[in-house]
Amino acid sequence: MRWDAQRLDLDEPSTLPGLPDVRGLLRSLQVPEFPGLTLHEVRCKSALNAVPKGSAMPFGHTINTFRGCSHACVYCFARSTHEWLELDSGADFDQQIVVKTNIVEVLRRELARPSWRREHVALGTNTDPYQRAEGRYRLMPGVINALARSGTPFSILTKGTLARRDLPLLVAAARDVPIGMGVSMAIWDDDLHAALEPGAPTPHARLELVRAITGAGLPCGVFLAPVLPGLTDSLGHLEAAIGAIAEAGATGVTVLPLHLRPGAREWFTAWLVREHPALVSRYKTLYGRGAYVPAEYRSWLARRVPPIMARHGLDRQSGGSARGVGAAGEGSASPDTGLPGDESAGFPAGSLPVRRPGADPPGPPVPEQLSLC
Ligand code: SF4
């Protein structure tokens, strides 16, 4: 494995079982509560990852508390990131989870730098911060606390119902900095969910998460993604999904078709061949020329979604505005646009931190005014 980037002190005496080339600072373990998972505890050197300049993403930095994701979504676009560790993008991504045990301490240091401009930081863009291991390591309370205390707006995207644990903390944080909350959900058929997202909470549980977030007074945008051609793009499926999401109180919804980038492409294709061989030739046509569906499919999907959104009081551009529900702040502007693979799609309202009109920009850290844990 290319672990050197994680190494802080090569003089540490112990050598880890199974990782003979790495001295100290890492420990690999399996624990009874997570059968099948191997947790690799590392000390990270940095917590904030800069988004490459020129990216369409409406945030400049991300934080990943883990690498790999036990939610194990077959279609996960982040699979190839595991190859950097010389682990594979298939089962290793699901089962070999790297835990950045010192991330809160490192983050606090980075946020305290005079050069830190307190710009939007996104969590959940590459691996889920509320995957199973978070129950053991409890990294997120420290991350939330550090961001809020430093005056840094942030957003969290998750499928993990463990986020409910931190709702009181998030509500307190939202009094001090703008925050955005996003939940992704795509599948409404329990069997399909079990086959495609075997480690993730059920769609019903995620709907309850949306309800809990909005019930706590926080915004919550839903990514209805990925829509799987021939599997979840029927009118009936979209109607059921959008109706349930609206009923759960989502502030906005963005519908996105499946992307198949390298890593995810091989893993998903193997699954499709095994489980739905009749669809293989259709997917070859759709994804034969690249990671994204052709414009014709995007247009076809884009035509069927708006009437359903409108029927349920949601609209594609500004999420909850049609239902009289503000985004992450009453009167906020439409969310940013430019999602990879569908530049016409915006982030759902509520999923990005939005400063209330007239609100002051973040000032210097004022920890004494915060009411966090
Ligand atoms: S929850 Fe997100 S990061 Fe985790 S496997 Fe699924 S798609 Fe990937």
What is the mean pLDDT of the segment spanning 65-79? 95
Q: Whose CA is nearest to atom 8 of ligand 1?
A: 76
pLDDT score for 342 = 59
For the cut 90, the answer to whether the pLDDT of residue 12 exceeds it is no
Cα separation, 71 vs 131, whole angstroms:
6
Cα separation, 171 vs 62, whole angstroms:
21
For the cut 70, the answer to whether the pLDDT of residue 77 exceeds it is yes
Cα separation, 200 vs 68, whole angstroms:
13
Q: Whose CA is nearest to atom 7 of ligand 1?
A: 76
Q: Is the CB of 44 under 6 A from ligand 1?
A: no
pLDDT score for 360 = 55
For the cut 50, the answer to whether the pLDDT of residue 93 exceeds it is yes
For the cut 50, the answer to whether the pLDDT of residue 17 exceeds it is no
Class for the domain spanning 178-258+293-357: alpha beta
Cα separation, 92 vs 72, whole angstroms:
10
For the cut 80, the answer to whether the pLDDT of residue 26 exceeds it is no
pLDDT score for 48 = 97
Q: Is the CB of 128 under 6 A from ligand 1?
A: yes
pLDDT score for 354 = 86
Q: Is the CB of 185 under 6 A from ligand 1?
A: no
Q: Is the CB of 71 under 6 A from ligand 1?
A: yes
For the cut 80, the answer to whether the pLDDT of residue 347 exceeds it is yes
Instruction: Of 137, 170, 144, give the one whose Cα is nearest residue 66.
Output: 137
Which carries the bigger pLDDT value, residue 339 or residue 288?
288
Q: Is the CB of 87 under 6 A from ligand 1?
A: no
Sign of the dihedral defined by the CA atoms of residues 197, 198, 201, 204, in that order: positive
CA angle, 227 then 203 then 182, to 5°:
75
Q: Is the CB of 69 under 6 A from ligand 1?
A: yes
Q: Whose CA is nearest to atom 6 of ligand 1?
A: 73
**Confidence tier at 247 by pLDDT (50, 70, 90):** very high
Which carries the bigger pLDDT value, residue 170 or residue 58?
170
What is the mean pLDDT of the segment spanning 111-139? 96
Which carries the bigger pLDDT value, residue 194 or residue 325?
194
Long-range contacts from 142-145, C-beta under 8 angstroms, 24+ separation: 142/103, 142/104, 142/107, 143/63, 143/65, 143/103, 143/104, 143/107, 144/169, 144/170, 144/173, 144/372, 145/104, 145/169, 145/173, 145/372, 145/373
Q: 272 C-alpha vs ligand 1 centroid, how far in Å?
A: 18
Which carries the bigger pLDDT value, residue 3 or residue 103?
103
What is the mean pLDDT of the segment spanning 114-127? 95
**Which residue in this structure is represented by tokens 């939005």?**
354
Cα separation, 309 vs 245, whole angstroms:
10
Sign of the dihedral defined by the CA atoms of residues 233, 235, 236, 238, in that order: positive
**Confidence tier at 332 by pLDDT (50, 70, 90):** very low
Cα separation, 220 vs 248, whole angstroms:
10
pLDDT score for 277 = 97
pLDDT score for 370 = 27
- pLDDT for 160-210, tens place per residue? 999 999 999 999 999 999 999 999 998 888 899 999 999 999 999 999 999
Q: 160 C-alpha vs ligand 1 centroid, how far in Å?
A: 10
What is the mean pLDDT of the segment spanning 52-71? 92
Cα separation, 107 vs 295, whole angstroms:
41
Q: Is the CB of 120 under 6 A from ligand 1?
A: no
In one-letter notation, the amino acid at residue 274 is: R
**Confidence tier at 373 by pLDDT (50, 70, 90):** very low
Give the percent of the chain with pLDDT over 90.
Answer: 72
φ and ψ at residue 309, rounded to 5 degrees: -55, -50
What is the mean pLDDT of the segment spanning 113-132? 96
Which among 66, 67, 69 is the best mutation to test ligand 1's pocket, defined by most ligand atoms within 8 Å of the CB? 69
- For the chain, the domains span 1-154, 178-258+293-357
- pLDDT for 135-161, tens place per residue? 999 999 999 999 999 999 999 999 999
pLDDT score for 2 = 53
Which carries the bigger pLDDT value, residue 371 or residue 225?
225
Give the percent of the chain with pLDDT over 70.
Answer: 80
Q: Is the CB of 132 under 6 A from ligand 1?
A: no
Beta bridge pairs of residue 19: 16
Whether the Cβ atoms of residue 344 and residue 337 lie closer than 8 Å to each other: yes
